[in-house]
Structure 1
């Protein structure tokens, strides 16, 4: 049975499995294409995720690779069906960047999300009023409303998953000290901090830790990033938010993924334990209300 990982992850899992099967068979793309009387470009597009694969074509590939187990065939066919499904985030195509939509697709199927931010509350933890504050500005009312809807829908869709991902957040103390909304509604930030603290106490899969100012400079000063892990053998994904430049999404064997895994562990060494972090957030919330 296929999990609720979404079309982006299920497509990636299927492609990874097909490439592995071909290599185990010792065949090149050209040899497989010749055996099936396909053009090499057709298989290249399938393995590269450019083309969805039909049930018939997948069955033909599996025969070439010697996959005869009915259960294994059905598992891969289920992945193919999932990969062809319409994703909820498709409604935002053309409205936000393709890189961010790809990230949403991967994050929606992740089993473990690790995120560091040094300036604002991560989107999956934002309250509606906090999100609304951060999309104010020169954009039209329609664009602002769409941006808020996207952030909140990500939270709603994540909560629907049968097996929600573990989420591990590290925040710089600057994130919780900045009094967002102080000029319009001083209660926005205290309520946001209380929301994070309550969720961290109530949800077993959620951990939030704060790096105090007393830790001094740390690796996180270079900007926010997210690491995603997956069940099923898919490699990690790294997303770097564009604070000083364009955002970037790294997959596969990109060496930066390993570097940022190490960075996250180093940042953990600087962070307060969760209980102390929650206590600090509640303390700051009280201070901001006075």
Structure 2
């Protein structure tokens, strides 16, 4: 029996590659199934991402399709390994939506994250108390144990900033998000102080889009966009009220362009630090 799991983004990505390769070679699902000792239905599910392919199956695809380019073969081998990658997030999978699992995996693979936040502090820069206050407001039906697990996921995600090869994080935060007192004055004061501290890290850039900037490049949503390690293309996650939407290719590049425009309108360095300090002082 073939093992199945929820169709993850990474499984869908390699499935798309396999299908394109098979169709370019003018092979049917049955042709491929006969070669790799699977039925056509199973091959179809592999190409849709429902069943992540294993490395031997990917190598068989490459052989039958006549692909001998060493770089291409190594890229697809890496993607097959990643499709079955286990991470710390698997311990929380029963509590997390598939879109969030994909988001966390993108963070784990990214070399750079560019984040625009209009209403809250970015998750990678939240304090534990601030995160808990947000999560309690977001899901008022969750019990204390569920809240604790959601908070722990957010704290675990932040470890990407402290790894030996940490991800680079650049964020533009709307000034309104920093004026919203989440969790009460004490919690918010600590959050603002934490932001000032994190802005001093060499791999973290914190910018503020001031209220005086007026209309801006992304008035209808917030997003993260990822520059990925090879062999993956740029990808983005757009936040919605019912979960995240993952985009890639041209749509991800358009988010990069929007971020560049937001960045040009934002305050940084000393100017951003002064706003954070002033807002923190008002909560004394």
Q: Give the TM-score taking structure 1 as reference length.
A: 0.80
Q: Is 1:189 aligned with 2:183?
A: no
**Partner of residue 42, structure 2:** 42
Map 1:16-165; keep pairs closer than 5 Å: 18=18, 22=22, 26-30=25-29, 31-33=31-33, 35-36=35-36, 38-66=38-66, 76-77=76-77, 79-136=79-136, 138=140, 139-156=142-159, 158-159=160-161, 161-165=163-167
Deviation, 1:52, is 2.5
Q: Is 1:234 aligned with 2:237?
A: no
SS at match of 1:50: coil
Map 1:216-231; keep pairs closer than 5 Å: 216-231=214-229
Deviation, 1:70, is 8.0
Q: Are the counterparts in 1 of residues 129 and 183 from structure 2 also a CA contact under 8 Å?
A: no
Q: CA RMSD, aligned part only?
A: 3.0
SS at match of 1:90: helix
Match of 1:211 among 209, 213, 229: 209
Q: Is 1:273 aligned with 2:268?
A: yes
Deviation, 1:121, is 0.7
SS at match of 2:215: coil
Deviation, 1:180, is 2.5
Deviation, 1:195, is 1.2
Q: Are the counterparts in 2 of residues 170 and 268 from structure 1 also a CA contact under 8 Å?
A: yes
Aligned length: 274
SS at match of 1:201: coil
**Partner of residue 3, structure 1:** none
SS at match of 2:136: coil
Structure 2: runs of 5+ lacking an equivalent: 1-7
**Partner of residue 247, structure 1:** 243
Q: Are the counterparts in 2 of residues 226 and 240 from structure 1 also a CA contact under 8 Å?
A: yes
Structure 1: runs of 5+ lacking an equivalent: 1-7
Deviation, 1:173, is 0.6
C-alpha distance in structure 2 between counterparts of 1:71 and 1:273, whole Å: 40
**Partner of residue 198, structure 1:** 197
- 1:131-187 per-position Cα deviation (integer Å, ceiling 9, x unaligned): 12223353311121112111111112x1464432221111011122223333xxx23
- Tell me: CA distance 1:76–1:225, structure 2 relative to 1, closer, same or farther (3 Å): closer
C-alpha distance in structure 2 between counterparts of 1:75 and 1:240, whole Å: 27
Deviation, 1:35, is 4.7
C-alpha distance in structure 1 between counterparts of 2:279 and 2:61, whole Å: 59
C-alpha distance in structure 1 between counterparts of 2:110 and 2:17, whole Å: 17
Q: Are the counterparts in 1 of residues 225 and 256 from structure 2 also a CA contact under 8 Å?
A: yes
SS at match of 1:220: coil
Q: Are the counterparts in 2 of residues 239 and 247 from structure 1 also a CA contact under 8 Å?
A: no
C-alpha distance in structure 1 between counterparts of 2:156 and 2:126, whole Å: 11
C-alpha distance in structure 1 between counterparts of 2:75 and 2:233, whole Å: 19
C-alpha distance in structure 1 between counterparts of 2:175 and 2:161, whole Å: 27
- Tell me: CA distance 1:274–1:136, structure 2 relative to 1, closer, same or farther (3 Å): same
**Partner of residue 166, structure 1:** 168
Between stretches 167-176 and 43-52, larger displacement belongs to 43-52
Deviation, 1:222, is 1.4
SS at match of 1:217: coil
Q: Are the counterparts in 1 of residues 15 and 52 from structure 2 also a CA contact under 8 Å?
A: no
Between stretches 25-34 and 161-170, larger displacement belongs to 25-34
Q: Give the TM-score taking structure 2 as reference length.
A: 0.81
Deviation, 1:15, is 4.6
C-alpha distance in structure 2 between counterparts of 1:207 and 1:175, whole Å: 17
**Partner of residue 182, structure 2:** 180
